[in-house]
Amino acid sequence: MGMSRRKTFITVIITLIALIAIASVVSYFVIAPEKPWKAFFVACCGGVLVVNLLLSLFLVMKNFKK
């Protein structure tokens, strides 16, 4: 039972990482023609979120109770 919770949690984090990465790239290309500085800011914010989720994924995989 513990393994299925762990797998579910890991799947949710990986899905969030993928969605945020895709949304950041799309928003960069949508906003870039009008305001390049704002597009860069939004893309960097998405990148920071992805890095934070990757760190949490690493820690979950390492320390999750079995």
CB–CB of 39/27 below 8 Å?
yes
The pTM (predicted TM-score) of the whole model is 0.83
Helix (H, G, I), strand (E, B) or coil at 25: helix
Alpha helices in 1-66 (DSSP H): 2-31, 36-63
**pLDDT computed for residue 61 by the predictor:** 83
Structural domains counted in the chain: 1
What is the chain's pLDDT, residue by residue, as a tens digit (66 residues)?
556 788 888 899 999 999 999 999 999 999 989 999 999 999 999 999 999 999 999 988 888 766
Domain holding 26, by residue range, is 2-63
